[in-house]
Chains A and B, each alone.
Chain A
């Protein structure tokens, strides 16, 4: 099969992940976008591993490492999300302005969800 088939799928998955990270308001949905992007990268690694016929299987091994790092990342990120929920009562990334500049906050005050 042509090498660009898996690369095309990976590119589309990555772009969909970018849209998810940018457009979603719920922090957990943002994390799902990140997972999609990581999977796109993994697909690239596996495709090039198959194409180059790497004796050491560097691509597949690195894919395993990326999966482990993604698991560590999701564990930490969900701990942070739960902490944000406990302190703010919501996990809407648009409304988390406590680290923003106060002047900007006055100009563009987001509508609070009930």
Chain B
């Protein structure tokens, strides 16, 4: 196992372990903080997989903005900061069974379908800011512009929802 593969395995273990803690911890604020660890580890996985710009965008937007938004929502809904008993539904077993079946289906499919395919990371072009910017603004410029309209619509929608008087 090369050094890159060892780093990948370690980051994968961190990502999956902290994701499990996100969905099982009984403390709301801890769930948000474990989400930071998960998203950071996924950013590290992107770096290993030669997606440099995507990794920094992940750190900026997910770790920087989305988690702060989630923490703000927890604060504004007066979430209890300590240990809370009823964060999970009373009958969590069906949810665990469904999630286990999803995991089984996906794992069996990807391992059976791609067991002999390898990623050759030595010859992969690193997705730096220059290369990503070049492709976004040449090949994908129309989806990029449509995306800006979507962001504007989401912004207007969020403001309209927040200004509504409670009935």
Using a CB–CB cutoff of 8 Å, the interface residues on chain A facing chain B are 1-9, 11-20, 22-26, 28-29, 31-33, 35-36, 39, 42-43, 46-47, 49-51, 53, 56-58, 60-61, 63-65, 67-76, 78-83, 85-87, 91, 94, 113
Q: Is the CB of B23 within 8 A of A4?
A: no
What are the residues of chain B within 8 A of A58 when measuring CB–CB? 140
Q: Is the CB of B4 within 8 A of A68?
A: no
Q: CA–CA, A92 to B110, complex, Å?
A: 36
Q: Is the CB of B49 within 8 A of A50?
A: yes
> Which residues 77-136 of B sit at the A interface, judged by CB distance below 8 A?
77, 79, 86-89, 92, 94-96, 98-100, 102-103, 106-107, 110-111, 114-115, 117-121, 123-125, 127, 131-132, 135-136
Min CB distance B167 to A, Å, is 7
Chain B interface residue count: which class? Answer: 35 or more
Q: Mark B129-167, 1 if CB is under 8 A from A, else 0.
A: 001100110011001100100110011011001101011
Q: CA–CA, A75 to B156, complex, Å?
A: 11
Nearest residue, chain A, Cβ from B165: A86
Closest 5 CB pairs of A and B: A15-B103, A19-B99, A22-B95, A11-B106, A72-B154
What are the residues of chain B within 8 A of A82 when measuring CB–CB? 73, 76-77, 162
Q: Is the CB of B167 within 8 A of A87?
A: yes
Q: Is the CB of B86 within 8 A of A113?
A: yes
Contact status of A46 and B99, CB under 8 A, knowing A2-B117, A68-B151: no
Min CB distance A56 to B, Å, is 5
Using a CB–CB cutoff of 8 Å, the interface residues on chain B facing chain A are 2, 4-5, 8-9, 12, 15-16, 19-20, 22-23, 28, 31-32, 35, 38-39, 42, 45-46, 49-51, 53-54, 57-58, 61-62, 65-66, 69-70, 72-74, 76-77, 79, 86-89, 92, 94-96, 98-100, 102-103, 106-107, 110-111, 114-115, 117-121, 123-125, 127, 131-132, 135-136, 139-140, 143-144, 147, 150-151, 154-155, 157-158, 161-162, 164, 166-167
